[in-house]
Chain A
Amino acid sequence: MLVDEINASGGVKGQKVELVLKDTAGSPERAVSFAKQLIEEDKVLAIIGPSTSGETMKIKDLCEENKMLLVSCAAAETIVNPVAKYVFKVPQKDSQAVLWIYRTMKDKGIAKIAILSSTDGFGAAGKKQLEDLAKSEGIEILVDEVYDKQATDLTDILTKVKSKAGVQAVVNWSIVPAQSMVAKNMKQLGLNVPLFQSHGFGNPKYVQQAGAAAEGTLFPAGRLLVVDELPDNHPQKQVLAAYKKDYESRYKEDVSTFGGHAYDSLMIVAEALKQAGSPDREKVRDALETLKGFVGTAGVFSFSATDHTGLDLSAFEMLTVKDGKFTSYKK
């Protein structure tokens, strides 16, 4: 969709953009194989994606060694830490999401929690951040369990949570279907403490899945999901509203933050290309690294030599579910 738009409006500095698509279906060895193809055969200017942290990590060293620009749509901290000259990422940092969660908890007077995460890369990354940041934020983790992402039912793990006295809130870090399952199982077991989800909850369909159990769920997310609530003078409003309109009319489904990441990565590369003036990888890389104040769907990006994520805490907002809809969480 975006490539068509860019090309329709004259391309970037007069040149058309060509998209080479490869679907790894989440398989790491295919990621490696395709990355090598893109680097050595197609000799692309930049690689956008992959969307999982596991695959990104497999090709991070590869891209760095081959001086290939990589703009990943995956969230793991390890992608940009240690910083590799040619590797960037566009989703917000997991640590930022966790900080939002922990600070909201402190506001609510919550100090003892249970952490649940799934066995995939996303869950593992979240778990690590939750554990690392707990002490400094004054949060005590009473239960820390990992479950298989294809689990058919999670009441046994939630029973374990319920058995520990003093748990004041539950944080769940996973994607569907487990996200909805945790919410439902908690209510079914009568575990009536606040449920915090990761920023992976950012799709209205997930609210539908969990139905009544999703009410009151708290999670950090980019403002794409509540764009209608933003005041008109908010820096992101225009970009978000335009993206939402285009996406929903073309694909006939609700926007989600994941599509937003793809949008951001492409637009950032395009912008860097514009500023660099020519499709020279070194110049584009330098332009990207010095990009400041770029408005994307996830937030406002400002990169630097030490920061290849470009987003800070203000990229997030705490959202909640009310009457089956996303809305900003007001204290």
Chain B
Amino acid sequence: MENGSLALQYLLSGITKGSIYAVVAIGFNLIYSATGIINFAQGEFVMLGGMVAVTLAHYVPLPVAIAGAVGVVALVGCLLELALFRRLQRHSVLHLIIITMGLSIVIQEAALHIWDEKVRSLPYFTGSEVSSVRFLGAAISPQVLWVLGTVALVVLALHVFLRYTLQGRAMRACSSNPEAAMLAGINIPNMRTLSFGLSAGLGALAGCVISPITMTHYEMGAPLAIKGFAAAILGGLGNPMAAVAGGLLVGILEAASVSRLPAVYNDVAAFAILLFVLFVRPQGLFGSPTSDTVREH
């Protein structure tokens, strides 16, 4: 393969992974924006979405299965918020983050016992396991285009929702100034539930669309959550576009690392870069430095 198309191929494979991280990072970002919580269980929502969809797909056509999975997992997200976080309002954010870690472990084990340890996947939306789209000497699976399309759609939808609908604007108000929002009559706890449900649903959608690529199994949640979280922080929390950019960047960095170093260190490279960014510019590449937020000096 000549250099040009080789570089392009690495880029495309970086985008493949990056799109997966991006679609997970958006969910992280949403909950964070609305509630200030980093939800480590976000990866499990992705996993649940895929699992439920695969089960449903045995009985109903694929699009219905996906819609069903999104609905079910969104409901689960809402219920979790109601059951847990509603009662924990006086707890510090850090406590809540630790709780989400515990939650992620419990959901993972529950999935193991509800389904089993086997790997499963949804069928490719278009084409099959062997089809690919050629582009200037490089190739990519059509499913990746579906993922990218979903990401774009979600970002657009979120933008419209947050800017132009009442609920969306209420959510934005909650995140920027909860006290003022309360004074304006916005029901903050309900907003929180809504954001959890929405984030869970988004996660489920992500899980469905990436399922043919990554395959769905009970353990997939944790590594995805970590990478998605890293991507969201790299881009800068608080901004869905930044989350997407962060995700794509992480994917491309990993691919770049594979091209130069032994492939086994690609995770190390991604996390090392993340640590570097955290130490040097904690608000992320595209985040705005709000004065006393992340550092004390």
Q: Do A and B come from one complex?
A: yes
Per-residue 0/1 for B93-106: is the Cβ within 8 Å of any A Cβ (1 yes, 0 no)? 00000000000000
Alpha-carbon distance between A161 and B224 when the two chains are bound, in angstroms: 25
Alpha-carbon distance between A146 and B258 when the two chains are bound, in angstroms: 10
CB distance from B1 to the nearest CB of A (A): 5
Per-residue 0/1 for B184-220: is the Cβ within 8 Å of any A Cβ (1 yes, 0 no)? 0000000000000000000000000010011101011
Q: A147-B263, A153-B16 are in contact. Are A189 and B119 (CB under 8 A)?
A: no
> A187 at the A/B interface (Cβ < 8 Å)?
yes
Which B49-77 residues have C-beta < 8 A from chain A? none
> A131 at the A/B interface (Cβ < 8 Å)?
no
B264 touches A187 (CB 8 A): no
Once A and B bind, how many residue pairs between them come within 8 Å at the CB atom? 110
A213 touches B130 (CB 8 A): yes
Per-residue 0/1 for A284-299: is the Cβ within 8 Å of any B Cβ (1 yes, 0 no)? 0000000000000000
> B262 at the A/B interface (Cβ < 8 Å)?
yes
Per-residue 0/1 for B1-40: is the Cβ within 8 Å of any A Cβ (1 yes, 0 no)? 1000010011011101100100000000000000000000
Alpha-carbon distance between A160 and B13 when the two chains are bound, in angstroms: 11
Which B231-267 residues have C-beta < 8 A from chain A? 254-255, 258-259, 262-264, 266-267
B264 touches A190 (CB 8 A): no
A163 touches B215 (CB 8 A): no
Interface size class of B (residues with CB under 8 A): 35 or more
Q: Which residues of B contact A209 (CB under 8 A)?
A: 119-121, 215
The contact of A152 among B17, B120, B131, B258, by CB within 8 Å, is B17
The contact of B118 among A119, A160, A183, A205, by CB within 8 Å, is A205
Alpha-carbon distance between A132 and B17 when the two chains are bound, in angstroms: 33
Q: A119-B264, A152-B20 are in contact. Are A187 and B130 (CB under 8 A)?
A: yes
Q: Which residues of B contact A65 (CB under 8 A)?
A: none
Q: Which residues of A contact B263 (CB under 8 A)?
A: 145-147, 156-157, 160
A189 touches B264 (CB 8 A): no
Q: How many chain A residues touch B (Cβ–Cβ < 8 Å)?
A: 33
A153 touches B223 (CB 8 A): no
Alpha-carbon distance between A183 and B9 when the two chains are bound, in angstroms: 18
Give the nearest-CB partner of A161 in chain B: B263
B129 touches A210 (CB 8 A): yes
> A217 at the A/B interface (Cβ < 8 Å)?
no
Contact segment of A174-182, A223-231, A259-267: A174-182
B215 touches A156 (CB 8 A): no
The contact of A184 among B1, B6, B130, B259, by CB within 8 Å, is B130
Q: A163-B1, A180-B215 are in contact. Are A153 and B20 (CB under 8 A)?
A: yes
Give the nearest-CB partner of A187 in chain B: B130
A156 touches B14 (CB 8 A): yes
> B288 at the A/B interface (Cβ < 8 Å)?
no
> B139 at the A/B interface (Cβ < 8 Å)?
yes
A177 touches B17 (CB 8 A): no
Which B148-204 residues have C-beta < 8 A from chain A? none
A177 touches B215 (CB 8 A): yes
Q: Which residues of B contact A156 (CB under 8 A)?
A: 10, 13-14, 17, 254-255, 258-259, 263, 266
CB distance from A189 to the nearest CB of B (A): 5
B132 touches A187 (CB 8 A): yes
Alpha-carbon distance between A321 and B117 when the two chains are bound, in angstroms: 24
Which A244-281 residues have C-beta < 8 A from chain B? none
Give the nearest-CB partner of B132 in chain A: A188
> A27 at the A/B interface (Cβ < 8 Å)?
no
Per-residue 0/1 for A204-236: is the Cβ within 8 Å of any B Cβ (1 yes, 0 no)? 010001111100000000000000000000000
> A155 at the A/B interface (Cβ < 8 Å)?
yes
B267 touches A159 (CB 8 A): no
Which A120-149 residues have C-beta < 8 A from chain B? 145-148
CB distance from A81 to the nearest CB of B (A): 25
> A150 at the A/B interface (Cβ < 8 Å)?
yes
CB distance from B61 to the nearest CB of A (A): 19
Give the nearest-CB partner of A191 in chain B: B139
Q: A145-B263, A187-B129, A205-B118 are in contact. Are A153 and B13 (CB under 8 A)?
A: yes
A176 touches B119 (CB 8 A): yes
Alpha-carbon distance between A185 and B214 when the two chains are bound, in angstroms: 11
Q: Which residues of B contact A112 (CB under 8 A)?
A: none
The contact of A212 among B20, B129, B258, by CB within 8 Å, is B129
Which B87-116 residues have C-beta < 8 A from chain A? none
The contact of B213 among A153, A163, A205, A213, by CB within 8 Å, is A153
> B141 at the A/B interface (Cβ < 8 Å)?
yes
B139 touches A188 (CB 8 A): yes
> B140 at the A/B interface (Cβ < 8 Å)?
yes
Q: A189-B139, A190-B132, A213-B130 are in contact. Are A155 and B13 (CB under 8 A)?
A: yes
B259 touches A213 (CB 8 A): no
CB distance from A324 to the nearest CB of B (A): 12
Q: A156-B10, A177-B215 are in contact. Are A145 and B264 (CB under 8 A)?
A: yes
Q: List 29 A-B contacts (CB under 8 A).
A: A145-B263, A148-B267, A150-B223, A152-B17, A152-B210, A153-B13, A153-B214, A155-B140, A156-B13, A156-B14, A156-B258, A156-B266, A157-B258, A159-B6, A159-B10, A159-B259, A162-B6, A163-B6, A176-B119, A184-B129, A184-B130, A184-B141, A187-B130, A188-B131, A188-B132, A188-B139, A190-B132, A205-B118, A209-B215
Binding site for B on A (CB under 8 A): 119, 145-148, 150, 152-153, 155-160, 162-163, 176-177, 180-181, 183-185, 187-190, 205, 209-213
Binding site for A on B (CB under 8 A): 1, 6, 9-10, 12-14, 16-17, 20, 118-121, 128-132, 134, 139-141, 210, 213-215, 217, 219-220, 223-224, 254-255, 258-259, 262-264, 266-267
Known: A145-B264, A157-B258, A188-B140. 6 other contacts (CB 8 A): A150-B220, A153-B17, A155-B140, A156-B259, A189-B9, A213-B130
